[in-house]
Amino acid sequence: MVIGLLTISAIPTVTGVSLGVSEQKKANSRASDAKRLEKFYLDVFCDATSEKAKELQGRRVVLRDNKVFLDSPTPTARSIPSHTAQAFYVTYPPDDDKRERGLGLVSTIAVDPPMLNWIYVDKDTLEVKYGNRTQSREHLVGPWDWTEDETGVTVADLEGFMAVEEEEGVWAVYFDRFGDGLQKVRDEGKEVMEISLERNLVKPPGEEGRGGGGR
């Protein structure tokens, strides 16, 4: 069951996200740590020239049905109803055995009421999904981070994201954890494209516009 979270300051201390925010605040003595709490969109960079690559270039991460998909930054009448992810980094709470999990990635999953979940990689299917701490803890929850230029998004120090066309025009995000092009999990009949996910900071009202990325 998804847990609703009204505001970060009001998250009950028993929830996993609140524990992560608490851990992150302890680490915020460094400016670079504080910057990780800034919200950003996740936009696609696809360094290829095929028609499919052109279709993906500039798409944005959206969330629905506990999975991560790609859609236009400006949804159209043909878009499937989804929530546009607004993500930020916080430390994932240690396990019961005190094992550190590193930085996690949190995203809004709804606007009204405001809700937050962890973004993670399913350990069996390699799909990128979202859920509460209970749903995510048995999977690859990080460490998430950014590339040296603070633009590209990484998991376990890799930018190994793949877009899989699950239906015509419907692209889901996977993580190529084993560097084999998803050979262990992919359906041979589905189109697969290598992509990067880039941070695009959420700007205050009146300052909207595309930014970041551009590699």
Query: All domains of the chain, ordered by start, with CATH?
Result: 8-201 (2.80.10)
E-state strands within the chain: 40-45, 60-64, 67-71, 83-84, 87-91, 103-110, 115-121, 128-131, 144-146, 153-155, 161-167, 170-175, 192-201
- Average pLDDT of the residues in 21-29: 55
Residue 134, token pair as written in the block: 């209970």
The rounded distance, in Å, linking the Cα atoms of 144 and 126 is 15
The bridge status of strand 40-45 relative to strand 192-201 is: antiparallel
**pLDDT at position 1, please?**
35
Higher pLDDT, 69 or 55: 69
Helix (H) or strand (E) holding 55: helix 51-56
Tokens of 125: 């299917």
Please name the residues in contact with 182: beta carbons below 8 A apart, sequence gap of 6 or more: 126, 162, 164, 174, 176, 192
Convert the pLDDT of each residue in 97-129 to its tens digit: 667 789 999 999 998 888 999 999 999 999 999
Whole-angstrom distance, CA of residue 189 vs CA of residue 182: 13
Terminal CA-CA length for the chain: 38
pLDDT tens-digit readout, 121-153: 999 999 999 999 999 999 999 999 999 999 999
Residue 10 has pLDDT above 70, yes or no: no
Query: What is the structure's pLDDT at 215?
Result: 52
